Every structure is written in C-alpha cells, then in structure tokens.
Structure 1
C-alpha cells in the first residue's frame, strides 16, 4: 500500500553516501525487510511517498526507513555526484567506506535472521510474484469484459449509422467510457508488471547475497 504525503521542494541534501552504498539500499527494501519496514522517499514529481518498497530509480535521491509505528530506523542520504566524489579527500572516502561496511553488516544480519536457506527466499519470491500476477490476471479479465461491451456498443452504433439513423448520445458516451476504462486497466497492468519486476529483482538480490555469505547452505 502506497501513501502519498505532500509536495516537497526539490532541494538537494548535503549529506551523502557512495553510489555503491546506495545500491545496497535497494536491498534494504528487498524481501528481508519488505513486510516489516516502510520507506519514505520523493518520487519523480518531488511528492513524498511512503511505501513498502522503493523503485530503484529513486534510491539515489535518498530515503528514510520507518517501522510500522512510524519510528525512524535509518536515514539514507542521497548518492554523491561524480564531482563530489572527486572532491572528497582520502579521510572522507575512508569514513564512507566504513559506513558502507556497517550497512552491509546490518543487512546481512537481517537476511540471515529472516531466512535459513536460499529455498526460503525463492519461495517468498514466488509467493510475492504470484500475488501480483493474480492482480494482473484480474485486470486482464476486466479488460476482456470491457472490450466485449465495447464491441457490442460499436456494433449497435454501426448498424444505426448504416441505416441512416443518428447514434444516441448515450451510446456514444458509453463507448468513450469503455475506451477510457480499458486504457485505465492497461495502465494498471503496466504498473503491476513494473512492480512485479522490481519485487523479483529485490528477492534475487537477497538470493545472490545469501549465497555469498552462506555458500554452504542451499
């Protein structure tokens, strides 16, 4: 469930972490924490959103990790620009690498606490992906129903036109409503497909990481 809070000026945060650290941040919204934590971030329109995951394209802007009670668990700053990376001296780079290592350690601990094997993660990945596929199939069913109605209405309109009669405004309006409904359902499917791909990528991140830190467990 997504909650949109408010518009926010698009000013840039001063604090930052390396890009690699932010890539790890994508993992923080993976299966290891997806059901317990929420993420507050700004979308492409600078609207603040709270959701149970972060689209990868917004991770670099930074985000806040919240628990179910709304308490702040972690604040992840935006990624450094290339110019900022070049401007940082060795001491700052060393500090950032240390912070990155700490984040990696915390993430690994959560991963191992939540899953006992790769099979567990794969099962969760299939379940979450399957849940979204059910919703996609439902939207496709809606589209099929709307298209059947549209075909019927268009057929009636065509018969009236062929007989030289005007098409009632009610039929014309219904045709436009059905077209709009189909377009809306298709847009929902596109969003669900994108969510499904994101979720699968997040769980795959967990799978690969688990294999790396526990190569002895399948």
Structure 2
C-alpha cells in the first residue's frame, strides 16, 4: 500500500508543477508610454495607465493584444471629421470610376458623344415645340370663352357655371403648360452641359490611354 500511496503523491506533485509552469508561462505584463515619454512595463494595470493605451505582452516580449488610447473629446471630433472626409473621398472616387466605365461602354470616340448630344437636344426641342403649340391653342380657347362670357354679360345674361369652370380649368392648364416649357428649357441647358462634361472627361480618358500606349511602346523599343 505504501508504494501505491507514494505513486499518487508523486503524480499529484507532477500535476501541480505542470500547472505552475503553465501559469508562469501565461503570466502577462503591460507595456505603455509614461508621462515622460518613456516605455514602462508593469505586472498590473492602474487607473493612470488605462487611458494611455498599452500592450499586453508575455514574459518573452511577444504581444498578446494592443489596447488603443482613449481619445479626448477634441481628438474624437477630429477622428470623426477625418472619417467623414475619407468616406466622402471614397464615394467620389467610386462615382468617378462608375462614370468612366459608363463613358467607355457607351462611346467609342468623341464624335459619338456629339451625335448623342445633338439627338438628345433635338428630342427636348421637339417636346418644347409641342408644348408651345399646345399653349397657343389653350390660350386661344381662353380668349374664345372669355369673349363668349363677355357677350353674355353685355346682353345682361348670367354666365353659365360650366363656362366659368371651363375658363378656370383652361387657365390652370395654361399655367401648367408654361411651367413645363420653363422646365424643359432648363433641361435643355442641363443636358447640354452634361454632354459637355462627358465629352471633356472622355477626352481625358483617351489622352490617358494614348499616354499609356506610348509609354509601353517606348519601353518595348528600349528593350
């Protein structure tokens, strides 16, 4: 019985030693920059260290984790502004890439843009002409109905409610059509400007492509 009991104690002692070795191996320290700008290493955190940020390291110096410093209100505000600027820049770059891809897919040269611009402007101008023609016809109807109403009043007769309603509807239609003409005219300018931007950007892309081709040709010639 004595040898068996001794064996148990030996086994237990070995397990305790192994556990102790593991505990020592997993012992961590905290590395940070103190108020004097010097690197310090301690075995426990204090309230003064936490806001500074620190590295959690093992005894051999390997880093387990890094805790960033806490930002002040001003630093946090600056960080948010920088994030917003970076986001806006990324969105602008993505929008530019999408624009470039669209131009290269739709057009093969600048002449294609000129043709597309002329076709789009002509389409808008036709719509404006139709609206103006409709406006002339509506205004003539207003004049005719106004003359009819004036003639009834001259005779001392009451103007029918239906004629009053028709005149009111026609005047609203005049205002609506005039507004459409103004809108279409503005669209004419906006579309023209958009095509000019497309043309300028497409020209830049073509120049870039030509420069890259010439560059590669020169490299091949040098070889």
TM-score by length of 1: 0.51
Deviations 1:113-160 (A, max 9, x none): 321222211111111121122111111111111111111111111122
Note closer, same or farther for the CA distance 1:100–1:157 as it changes in structure 2 (3 Å cut): closer
Higher helix share: 2
Aligned-residue offset at 1:111: 1.3
Aligned-residue offset at 1:191: 2.6
Aligned length: 133
Q: What is the correspondence of 1:111-130 to structure 2 with a 5 Å cutoff?
A: 111-130=103-122
Matched, 1:145 2:176: no
| Aligned equivalent of 1:88 | 81
**SS class of match (1:167):** coil
Correspondence for 1:191 among 183, 195, 203: 183
Alpha-carbon separation, structure 2, partners of 1:99 and 1:170: 57
| Aligned equivalent of 1:69 | none
Correspondence for 2:127 among 121, 128, 135: 135
Alpha-carbon separation, structure 2, partners of 1:146 and 1:85: 60
| Aligned equivalent of 2:148 | 156
| Aligned equivalent of 1:47 | none
**SS class of match (1:164):** coil
Matched, 1:169 2:157: no
Deviations 1:23-81 (A, max 9, x none): xxxxxxxxxxxxxxxxxxxxxxxxxxxxxxxxxxxxxxxxxxxxxxxxxxxxxxxxxxx
Aligned-residue offset at 1:178: 1.1
Q: What is the correspondence of 1:194-213 to structure 2 with a 5 Å cutoff?
A: 194-213=186-205
| Aligned equivalent of 1:35 | none
Aligned-residue offset at 1:86: 8.6
Structure 1: which 5+ runs fail to align?
1-83
Alpha-carbon separation, structure 2, partners of 1:169 and 1:108: 60
Note closer, same or farther for the CA distance 1:164–1:199 as it changes in structure 2 (3 Å cut): same
Aligned-residue offset at 1:213: 2.2
**SS class of match (2:149):** helix
TM-score by length of 2: 0.50
Higher strand share: 1
Structure 2: which 5+ runs fail to align?
1-76, 211-223
Note closer, same or farther for the CA distance 1:165–1:93 as it changes in structure 2 (3 Å cut): closer
- Alignment RMSD, CA only? 2.9
